[in-house]
Amino acid sequence: MARRAIICGGSIGGLFCAAFLRQAGWQTIVLERSRNELSGRGAGIVTHDLLVNLIAKTGASISDLGVQVQDRIAFDLEGDRVATLPLPQIVTSWDRVHSLLRALVPAGDYLLDKAVARYIDDRADGVTLVCEDGSQHHGDLLIGADGFRSALRGQMLPDVQPQYSGYVVWRCLAHEADLPDDLRDQVFDSFGFFLPQGTQILGYPIAGPLNDLRFGHRRYNFVWYAPVDGAELADMLTDATGYQHSITIPPPLVRDDVLERMQQFARSHLAKPFLDILARSERPFFTPIYDHLSPVFARGQVALAGDAACVARPHVGMGVTKAASDAEALARHLSNTAIPLALQSYNKERQTASALAFDTGRRLGSYIFAAPAFGQNLDGRNNPNLARIMAETAVVPAVSD
């Protein structure tokens, strides 16, 4: 009889696990807390060959995956180009990857409105998952793909807590049709950077709604890392009713005066192309940047995958690739050997690889706070780490000496 895996979390990590385990002959059931089908609010995802190959390996189509950029460019404050690095990449969107994987899971095997509360892993014949609605699900293996605030990790490794980085990321998204021709020509074919002291900004084109890749129908997405101390963050996480959200705040609840403060700062500190895009952006929203690395990725008959196991800061552009690699490795080890040994091998392979992404994310993030080479670097022309940031952001980190 087919072995059965229960997957907690129906986002990209959970769906990759379902796809690869089904290929390996497992029965899978995905339990997702959200009441509605998930959507990524247009968030862009930079792809690597590794990710494209893993998507193809699930059986999903990789045609029309996203927008091709040819190179990376850095602007100064006025919008003049100060550096160019040839580096072709396809930039896709969270929604595109999610919908490709979602289509691989039969309807009855993906349950919405199932918030997982805890698990019982003391039975020789499997593991039982208990949902907040009281329902129970039994399987041979449980996978926690329930994101960076994972309930399953909370039970398995209560001491592992996300660490605040000291900065947030503002995300802006503008429709190509809303940009003047000269601005579109300036930004649309490249991955763009602005790297003054005290901040990092990078932007790139992504598909329009419903994966529309046609000229004139695409969107431009930029992310702006901005230092925010603990007191200011607490204020930014407080909504108009005075309620202070923990960790993050739903975008529609970000107060107007918080947005206005950001816009004011942008007017004097943002490179002109990004400022012009901000002026035409949908309502921007921010996410505080956290990271964490679990010391083990499996215990008993429970495995952690994706952001539940490790979040590397997004500079490294590895979240989706990491989740896909976790899922592929898990299914591969489970195909070769019995569950306890397979989970040991999975832990060894993926904890080590994730630690590398985690360290690289921290290093790239630390450049936000690095002093300029000489004088000031408010115009983005004098960043001692410019070449490194341009070359290493959103690139799979390679093991080095």
Ligand X SMILES: Cc1cc2nc3c(=O)[nH]c(=O)nc-3n(C[C@H](O)[C@H](O)[C@H](O)COP(=O)(O)OP(=O)(O)OC[C@H]3O[C@@H](n4cnc5c(N)ncnc54)[C@H](O)[C@@H]3O)c2cc1C
Please, which residue, 8 or 183, has the CB nearer to ligand X? 8
Which stretch in 79-87, 100-108, 144-152, 381-389 sits in contact with ligand X by CB under 6 A? 144-152
Please, which residue, 1 or 398, has the CB nearer to ligand X? 398
Judged by CB under 6 A, the chain residues 84 through 113 that form the site for ligand X are 94
Q: Least distance in Å: CB of 374 to ligand X?
A: 31
As a whole number of angstroms, the distance between CA 236 and CA 256 comes to 10
As a whole number of angstroms, the distance between CA 118 and CA 61 comes to 35
| Burial class of residue 126, CB neighbours in 10 A (0-12, 13-18, 19+) | middle
Judged by CB under 6 A, the chain residues 255 through 294 that form the site for ligand X are 287
Cross-strand partners of 72: 85, 191
Q: Least distance in Å: CB of 138 to ligand X?
A: 17
Q: Is 10 in the site for ligand X (CB under 6 A)?
A: yes
Please, which residue, 45 or 82, has the CB nearer to ligand X? 45
Q: Residue from 42, 66, 139, 147 that binds ligand X (CB under 6 A)?
A: 147
As a whole number of angstroms, the distance between CA 277 and CA 284 comes to 11
- Chain-centroid distance of CA 41 in Å reads 12
Please, which residue, 38 or 302, has the CB nearer to ligand X? 38
Q: Least distance in Å: CB of 182 to ligand X?
A: 27
Residue whose beta carbon is closest to ligand X: 319
Judged by CB under 6 A, the chain residues 289 through 348 that form the site for ligand X are 306-308, 314, 317-321, 323
Q: Least distance in Å: CB of 77 to ligand X?
A: 23
Q: By C-alpha distance, which of 259, 330, 303, 358 is closest to 54?
A: 330
Judged by CB under 6 A, the chain residues 207 through 266 that form the site for ligand X are 223
Judged by CB under 6 A, the chain residues 149 through 208 that form the site for ligand X are 151, 169, 171
Contact set with ligand X (CB under 6 A) = 8-14, 31-34, 38, 45-46, 94, 114-116, 145-147, 151, 169, 171, 223, 287, 306-308, 314, 317-321, 323, 394
